[in-house]
């Protein structure tokens, strides 16, 4: 049976990555904090560039597991419990909350996709802090995961489209799903 120090060593070698694809392109974020807010508001912990994303669209919460490690749970909405306007889907299923697993795909709108990965101690990350609270990680495995992650067509000029066109795209996306 493993000791507490063995469990701590395992927890320290586990790393959680979130690959974000939105109107700004693609970026990889090393998840370390206990809570992250996601949304269109630039003051969120993970700002998202999309007209279809609420200002406070979702929360990521770090939760301990019995094995002395942790996982992240994604919740639709904000800290006050108000749901987002368009909800979220994990692996094609509409959910209000979900405990994320390795490779899970989270859709927040027709042009925003998150992919979650858990890395073990075998993968070393090069981490650089680009701003307070935002960490970008790069590694061969993260790059490989990013290349393999299925992607949605990303439209970078949404603001130039008429509002009716945006709603039509949203409606079509909701009907397909």
Within a 10 A sphere around the Cβ of 3, how many other Cβ atoms?
Answer: 8
Instruction: Write the CB contacts of 106 (distance below 8 Å, at least 6 apart in sequence).
Output: 58, 74, 88, 89, 90, 98, 100, 113, 114, 115, 116
Share of the chain above pLDDT 90, in %: 51
Mean of pLDDT values over 108-133: 70
pLDDT in tens, 134-161: 445 444 444 444 454 444 333 323 333 3
More confident position, 8 or 69:
69
Instruction: Give the integer Cα–Cα distance in Å for 68 and 110.
Output: 36
In this predicted structure, what is the pLDDT of residue 14? 83
In this predicted structure, what is the pLDDT of residue 120? 77
**Residue 103: pLDDT above 60?**
yes
In this predicted structure, what is the pLDDT of residue 68? 84
Q: What is the CATH number of domain 4-176?
A: 2.60.200.20
Please, what's the b/e burial string for 69-99 (b: 16 or more CB within 10 A of its CB; e: otherwise)? Answer: bbbbebbbbbeeeeebebbbbbeeeeeeebe
> Could you tell me which of 34, 28, 15 has the C-alpha nearest to residue 73?
34
pLDDT in tens, 5-53: 444 444 457 899 999 999 989 999 999 999 999 999 999 999 999 999 9
In this predicted structure, what is the pLDDT of residue 13? 73
**Residue 127: pLDDT above 50?**
no
pTM value? 0.65
């Amino acid at each position: 049976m493993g000791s507490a120090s063995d469990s701590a060593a395992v927890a320290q070698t586990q790393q959680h990555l979130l690959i974000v694809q939105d109107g700004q392109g693609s970026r990889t974020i090393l998840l370390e904090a206990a809570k992250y807010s996601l949304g269109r508001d630039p003051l969120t912990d993970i700002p998202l560039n999309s007209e279809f994303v609420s200002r406070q669209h979702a929360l990521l919460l770090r939760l301990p597991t019995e094995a002395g490690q942790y996982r992240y749970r994604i919740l639709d909405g904000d800290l006050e419990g108000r749901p987002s306007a368009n909800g979220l889907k994990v692996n094609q299923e509409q959910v209000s909350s979900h405990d994320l697993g390795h490779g899970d795909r989270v859709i927040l709108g027709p042009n925003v996709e998150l992919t979650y990965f858990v890395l073990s101690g075998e993968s070393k990350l090069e981490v650089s802090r680009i701003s307070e609270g935002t960490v970008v990680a790069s590694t061969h495995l993260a790059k490989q995961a990013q290349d393999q992650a299925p992607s949605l067509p990303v439209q970078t000029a949404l603001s130039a489209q008429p509002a009716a066109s945006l709603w039509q795209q949203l409606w079509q996306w909701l009907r397909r799903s």
